[in-house]
Amino acid sequence: MPQMEDSVPPDGPQPYADSVLDLTERIPPGLVMTYGDVAEYLGRGGPRQVGRVMALYGSAVPWWRVVRADGRPLPGHEDRALANYRVEGTPLRTVGGEPRVDLKRARWDGK
């Protein structure tokens, strides 16, 4: 049976969470990955699973480097994320008056 996006990866929650957090720590300053990018890079899970890991355990890693597919920062944490983006020199753009990460310039491919 195919794995559903919201299901736990076959290796269990903790190894998956560790993989997500390890990858997040490797994203260079000034660059980002989307939730979907992280899941694709790891070859398992999906954006929602990555988001869940980040919500539960992400405070110990540079969480602002994992963004939504449209480049918006984490809801409720926009000010802290934007402050980190400015310090790190993350490319930003404005859409409808909202600052977003410029994914064309800031997206990291994991290499």
More confident residue, 108 or 10: 108
Q: What is the DSSP letter of 60?
A: G
pTM of the model: 0.84
Cα dist from 79 to 32, 75, 97, 108, whole Å: 17, 10, 14, 22
Distance of alpha carbon 16 from alpha carbon 50, whole angstroms: 9
Instruction: Examine the pLDDT at 8 and tell me if it is beyond 50.
Output: no
| 16, HSE (Cβ side, Cα atoms, 13 Å) | 23
The 3-state DSSP class for residue 52 equals helix
Write down the pLDDT at residue 13: 55
Q: Tell me the mean pLDDT in the region 11-35.
A: 89
Percent of the chain with pLDDT over 90: 66
Between residues 15 and 67, the one the model is more confident about: 67
Q: What is the mean pLDDT of residues 38-67?
A: 93
pLDDT of 3 strictly over 80: no
pLDDT tens digits, residue range 58-92? Answer: 888 999 999 999 998 888 889 999 999 999 999 99
Give the pLDDT score at 6.
46
The domains located in the chain, with CATH, are 13-106 (1.10.10.10)
Whether 45 has a pLDDT exceeding 70, the answer reads yes
DSSP for 39-107, written as a single string: HHHHTSS-HHHHHHHHHHHGGGTTGGGEE-TT-PPPTT-HHHHHHHHHHHT--EEEETTEEEE-HHHHB
Buried b (16+ CB within 10 A) or exposed e, 17-31: bebbbebbeebeebb
